[in-house]
Structure 1
Amino acid sequence: MTLRVLGSGAGGGFPQWNCNCVQCTAVRAGSPHHRARTQSSIAVGGPDDWLLVNASPDILTQLQRSPALQPARAVRDTGIAAVLLCDGQIDHSTGLYMLRERGTPLPLWTTRPAFEDLSQGNPILRVLSHYCGVDWNELPIDGTSFSVPGVAGLRLTAMPLDSKPAPYSPHRERPVPGDNIGLVFENLRTGGRVFYAPGLGEISPLVWETLGTVDAVMVDGTFWTDDEMIRLGFSKKTARDIGHLPQSGPGGMLDWLARLPASTRKLLIHINNTNPILDESSPERRAVEAAGVEVTFDGLELTF
């Protein structure tokens, strides 16, 4: 079973189209220490059939760079057996538009709150009804494990996370369970387990318990500091205000990851263009690597 990182950046990618921060300027200038990234998405499965987890606005580029997701078994074909969304955010759902040429309704797995946000606040699913249509399946968040038809040997368990829904959600400031989820992928043949949570605002007791039961964790790497966007003049909100746990500082992501067994593989994904860990020569990047934590990049593959 393979987990392939299609995109490792946060919303806007890296460089962000309208940003001239030090980081984005460096990658445009061809810095050898900065690697461009598309927006956060992964595919799980293989060799021919895959579950697409989050459909980013960069999905067409990501598919072109991932030949395994085009097995070419027919004149028109795709390796995407189904799509699962961790939330209803724009950077995780806009790519659904690009899959509209499908000949049959697109199998889609989301929680009910995410389904409602994408049917009302940002009605992507209603628009798709004029094209291929959607075969919606509700994600259980009560700890019940499930399988996705078409992706053999993969078992999933979803859990609610402490984070925030999209700005167009009616409960943006009053989050409800299911606005954002983490996932455990389990290979039924090998028993290998991976925890995936690109949007994570707090390590709840349930999340912490889960982190101790898996072989690898791939978690929120959006911001280095809580006040990152405020210091740079891009926002008046902290990382935690918008539903992301920063990496540094007491109680930050690195602090939590350091408590896991040394045998656990630890990776960061959904990295914002302002995060200094994107500079591979920076002290922040060296601190991450010294902690035994990896910074994901587009095309990285993990076998479990």
Structure 2
Amino acid sequence: MQITLLGTAAGGGFPQWNCACRNCAGLRAGTLRATPRTQSSIFVQADAGGPGLLVNASPDILTQIQRQPVLWPKSGQRPEALVAGLRDTPIAGVLLCDGQVDHTTGLLMLRERGRPLPLWCTDPVAEDLSQGFPLFGVLGHYCGVQRHAIPLDGRSFAIDRLDGLRIRALALDSKAAPYSPHRDAPVPGDNIGLLFTDTRSQRSAFYAPGLGQISPAVADAAGSAQLVMVDGTFWTDDEMPALGISRKTAREIGHLPQMDAADGTPGMLRWLGTLPAASTRLLLHINNTNPILDEDSPQRATLAAHGVTVGEDGMQFSL
């Protein structure tokens, strides 16, 4: 199994187009040692060089395709060529962790596919994308969508053409999209984490770009994985209110910050420290305000001291 990080930023990317915070302004001016990032997405292949699964379809998907050779079409080299052997794609399907804009808008950029796009999502996300944000209806005028339901009962499932790869979904404590009828009354399946397992190597990767709380099921799945890729949106719970950007805290919008809360409630960093030392622990879905983007910051040094890596676009991992 090979996993490529296509995008590692939260919604808006880094730098964010309308933001002049210390991070965004410093990156533009060249006074901050930091790396630009596109919005959150990964590509999972059962075998390097073969077809794979696009997990979340970022608004930046076209830029990600241009930058990552694993996503380039190879005309005439695969049986799935779409039009006279000239158009094909290594994207065997798309899986959505939630119905948020920054994880779904890229579906519109895949409309020239030429046949229905295989897509895996939960029932609540399918409802959101059929009603509150009706992307499925729009795509029906182009390639269309061949939707597959994701089970939330602990069963693993497979993706066509990705032999040797099994996936298990876990319902997460987070938030549905603002246009979802479940926004203030969450239901299981609004947001999921994913455990990918290579049945040949018996090695696994856990992926949860939106994670508001560590449940026993999440702890067990992450503890069994050799690669753990989780929500790195905010450093502190009050990061956005302190900057005057929002009145809502990290936890109120469904993200577990890296640092413990003022009342001692554990944050992401303390939990990651409980995972096996041999595992690779990555933060992604990083908001443009998070000080860990500054490679010379004390917060970045704290992560390094705890064996936690800040994910970057283009990183690849083989399991």
Please classify the TM superposition score into its range, dividing by the shorter chain length: over 0.9
1:2-57 deviation per Cα after TM superposition (whole angstroms, max 9, x unaligned): 10000000000000000010100011112461110000000000312010000000
Distance 2:309 2:227 in 1: 11
Alignment of 1:263 onto 2:265: no
2:178 is equivalent to residue 135 of structure 1: no
Matching residue of 1:15:
15
Query: Partner letter of residue 7 of structure 1?
Result: G
> In structure 1, what is the equivalent of residue 42 of structure 2?
42
Which amino acid is the alignment partner of residue 291 of structure 1? H
User: What is the rounded CA distance, in whole Å, between the counterparts of 2:197 and 2:316 in structure 1?
Assistant: 16
Q: How many residues align?
A: 304
Residue 183 (structure 1) aligns with:
194
**What corresponds to 1:290 in structure 2?**
305
**What's the C-alpha RMSD, in Å, of the aligned pairs?**
0.9
Deviates more, 1:244-253 or 1:266-275: 244-253
The structure-2 alpha-carbon separation of the partners of 1:232 and 1:32, relative to structure 1 and needing over 3 Å to count, comes to: closer
For 1:285 and 1:142, the matched residues in 2 are separated by: 37
- Amino acid of the structure 2 residue aligned with 1:253: M
Alpha-carbon distance in structure 2 between the residues aligned to 1:145 and 1:222: 28
The answer (yes or no) to whether the contact 2:23–2:32 under 8 Å persists in 1 is no
* Stretch moving more, 51-60 or 20-29: 20-29
Instruction: Report deviation, 1:72.
Output: 1.1
Equivalent residue letter for 1:163: S
Offset of residue 265 of structure 1: 1.0
Provide the secondary structure at the position in 2 that maps to 1:261: coil
* In structure 2, C-alpha distance between the alignment counterparts of 1:139 and 1:97, rounded to whole Å: 21
Of 264, 268, 271 in structure 2, the residue corresponding to residue 253 of structure 1 is 268
Identity %: 61
**Following superposition, which runs of at least 4 residues in structure 1 exceed 2 angstroms of deviation?**
none
Q: Distance in 1 between matches of 2:310 and 2:205?
A: 16
- In structure 2, distance between residues paired with 1:247 and 1:189: 34
Q: Mark the CA change 1:31 to 1:3 in structure 2 (over 3 Å): closer, same or farther.
A: farther
Q: Classify the secondary structure of the residue corresponding to 1:26.
A: helix
- Counterparts of 2:44 and 2:183 in 1: how far apart (Å)? 29
Amino acid at match of 2:130: S
Q: CA offset at residue 71 of structure 1?
A: 4.0
Cα offset, 1:152, TM superposition: 2.0
How far did residue 126 of structure 1 move?
0.6
Matches within 5 A, 1:68-87: 68-73=70-75, 74-87=85-98
Q: How does 1:194-233 map to 2 (within 5 A)?
A: 194-233=205-244
Partner of 1:96: 107
**2:5 match:** 5
Residues 210-219 or 114-123, more deviating: 210-219
* Corresponding residue SS for 1:273: coil
Alignment of 1:139-154 (within 5 A): 139-154=150-165
In structure 2, the residue corresponding to 1:218 is in which secondary structure?
strand
The one-letter code matched in structure 1 to 2:51 is: D
> What is the CA–CA distance in structure 2 between the aligned matches of 1:81 and 1:30, rounded to whole Å?
39
Match of 1:242 in 2: 253
CA distance in 2, matches of 1:230, 1:187: 42
For the 8 Å contact 1:48–1:71, the answer to whether it is kept is: no
Give yes or no for contact 1:158–1:182 (8 Å, CA) kept in 2: yes
Structure 2's unaligned 5+ residue stretches are 76-84
TM-score using structure 2 length? 0.94
Aligned 8 A contact 1:221 1:270 in 2: yes
Query: What is the rounded CA distance, in whole Å, between the counterparts of 2:123 and 2:25 in structure 1?
Result: 40
Q: Classify the secondary structure of the residue corresponding to 2:112.
A: coil
Q: Is the 8 A contact 2:11 2:39 kept in 1?
A: yes
Q: Which amino acid aligns with 1:144?
A: R
2:129 is the alignment partner of 1:118: yes
Could you tell me which residue of structure 1 aligns to residue 295 of structure 2? 280
TM-score (norm 1): 0.98
Q: Distance in 2 between matches of 1:96 and 1:217?
A: 26
